[in-house]
Structure 1
Amino acid sequence: MNRLVVLLLLGLTGLAIAKIGRVKKADKDGILDEEDNDKFETFKGRFKRNCTDGADACKQRKRNFANNLKRIKKFQKNNTDTKEEFGVTEFADWSTADLKKLVINPDKMPAPLDSIVVPEPKRSKRATATAFDWRTKGVVTPVKNQGQCGCCWAFAASAAVETASNIINKRYNASQRSYSEQQIMTCTQSSPCNGGWPATALNSIKTKGAARTATVPYTGKETACPSVAVDMPVNTVVDMTGNVASALSFVGTTGPITAAFYVCEDFYYYTSGIYSTNCTTSSANFLGGHAVTIMGYGTNSAGVNYWLVKNSWGTNWGMAGYFQIKRGTDTCKFETWGLSAPTAKVIA
């Protein structure tokens, strides 16, 4: 009996020590409370942040983090249909000014259509499959990261073209070909980090070609257009803006499509589910426009239709770099601002 008591006491002591070891620490700069500071320490470890207590830059990151935690709580919708979730992402210590560096100033871009021109058709025996994902075919390159350069338009175009080219040239998995966003953006326009348009990049690739990523690696800075060997992978660029029916059919049979949409601040903290915020230029937390690549589509268990989209913010954001957004409702002008479909040609 005495031995059992001793063992019990030792066990309780061990639990107490373990609990003490997990005690939340106070922020030495006095900016974060203990709970938020604990979250910040976890955040630093996950996203490899170097933040020294007392340093001005670190203090600002902590202020940003505290403010963004409050925003994230407000963003939660508890929507049982879309099941969208928001949480701490790599952007949790960024300021609003930092976030704007990733998006496009819509004032410089074409105006969106007022509404969808051709809606998605009702289901029929010959209708497009209910779900499709080009990733399952082994033709989609890994998610890339544009960093703090507003060149999403080049990444969107590159993702669409390289996938389309991999499809028609039957380059699967290890034989996939990846194209250089650095070459595309610098050979398409000046000031490429200040925004651009995916259709412009697609047409530039059609006429000037695209270098391979290994030849011109991404730096995220404006450089001179390099004189290097290029592929000529694009055959045509088809405008499908406002035509959901054609876009759906194209994605399910031919290849990916570039899209542009309005971005509000909650999008940066998206982690899963179907994004449904109807962001507009008059929304309180509107930040700008963003270009991405549609790689598939589907319908969730609640019957909500969505597009499956590849982003260019790395694999730590969203669902391993991807997100879902409501389909057929023109959420954030996703279907009426700029849908461009490149077709590829057979090349060596």
Structure 2
Amino acid sequence: HDVSSPAGAAPQRWQCYVATRQGDARIRHHMVAAHGPGRLLGVPRSEQWMADAPRAVPDGRPDAVKYAGLPDSFDWGDVSGTSFLEPMRDQLTCGSCYAFAGTSMLAMRARIRNSSLNAANLMLSPQAVVSCSGFAQGCDGGFAYLVAKQAMDFGIPTDPCFPYEAGIVEGRQPACSKQCADSSQR
């Protein structure tokens, strides 16, 4: 995938790298081995971290064949005329992006797997995550991957069952409710 480079430079290839403490330690180890211990002194941490980060892979790499059949682009909003995307929603003044991201991801995966759920426009409740999850901090944030744990351990109701209201009044969020607001939407 091409990404733009600063100052109009030619596009470069990129490679995803997941930062972990182990990975950070491994990079430091390789830097010291390659450049000596003095290389780490007096260099901004951002430069230290990137010094031995994975490098871009040239276009002629051997495994390019396995990617040859992939399309240049793909849009979940138009898969043979069907959209699997949810509408854009506003989290208001609540730090609930994790709840929106997690519930949207889970709902879209279910909708992709089961066309009747897509036809019904399944949307899970970010409010249930914000108000009820023991794995998050309500309007003070959380992690989208823990929304999946919440779903696996306790389930997440649909959005019409527990509609989003956090952030309407700053500093207040609805209490957790086990009752469905619209019983026809269970």
Shared fold per TM-score greater than 0.5:
yes
Q: Which residue in the other structure is 2:65 paired with?
A: 125
Q: Give the alignment partner of residue 223 of structure 1, picking from 164, 167, 174.
A: 174
- The answer on whether the counterparts of 1:171 and 1:177 sit within 8 Å (CA) in structure 2 is no
TM-score by length of 2: 0.55
- The answer on whether the counterparts of 1:179 and 1:213 sit within 8 Å (CA) in structure 2 is yes
Pairs within 5 Å for 1:41-56: none
Q: Percent identity?
A: 22
Pairs within 5 Å for 1:1-348: 112-113=19-20, 114=24, 122=61, 124-127=64-67, 128-137=70-79, 138-171=83-116, 174-189=119-134, 191-220=137-166, 221-228=172-179
Name the CA shift for 1:124/1:160 in 2 (closer, same or farther; >3 Å): same
Structure 2 distance, partners of 1:208, 1:217, is: 18
Other structure's SS at 2:78 match: helix
Name the CA shift for 1:131/1:222 in 2 (closer, same or farther; >3 Å): same
Structure 2 distance, partners of 1:201, 1:172, is: 20
Q: CA deviation at 1:175?
A: 2.3
TM-score by length of 1: 0.31
Q: CA deviation at 1:187?
A: 1.8
- How many residues align? The count is 125
Which has the larger share of strand?
1
Name the CA shift for 1:216/1:227 in 2 (closer, same or farther; >3 Å): same
Name the CA shift for 1:216/1:112 in 2 (closer, same or farther; >3 Å): same
- The one-letter amino acid paired with 1:197 is F
Name the CA shift for 1:112/1:169 in 2 (closer, same or farther; >3 Å): same
- The answer on whether the counterparts of 2:111 and 2:118 sit within 8 Å (CA) in structure 1 is no
- The one-letter amino acid paired with 1:126 is K
Q: Which runs of 5+ in 1 are unaligned?
A: 1-76, 83-110, 230-348
Q: CA deviation at 1:150?
A: 0.7
Q: Which runs of 5+ in 2 are unaligned?
A: 1-5, 12-17, 25-49, 167-171, 181-186
Structure 2 distance, partners of 1:151, 1:219, is: 11
Structure 2 distance, partners of 1:145, 1:79, is: 35
Q: Which runs of 4+ in 1 moved over 4 A?
A: 77-82, 119-123
Structure 1 distance, partners of 2:93, 2:10, is: 33
Structure 1 distance, partners of 2:118, 2:8, is: 37
Q: Which residue in the other structure is 2:31 paired with?
A: none
Q: CA deviation at 1:205?
A: 1.0
- The answer on whether the counterparts of 1:179 and 1:210 sit within 8 Å (CA) in structure 2 is yes
- The answer on whether the counterparts of 2:110 and 2:117 sit within 8 Å (CA) in structure 1 is no
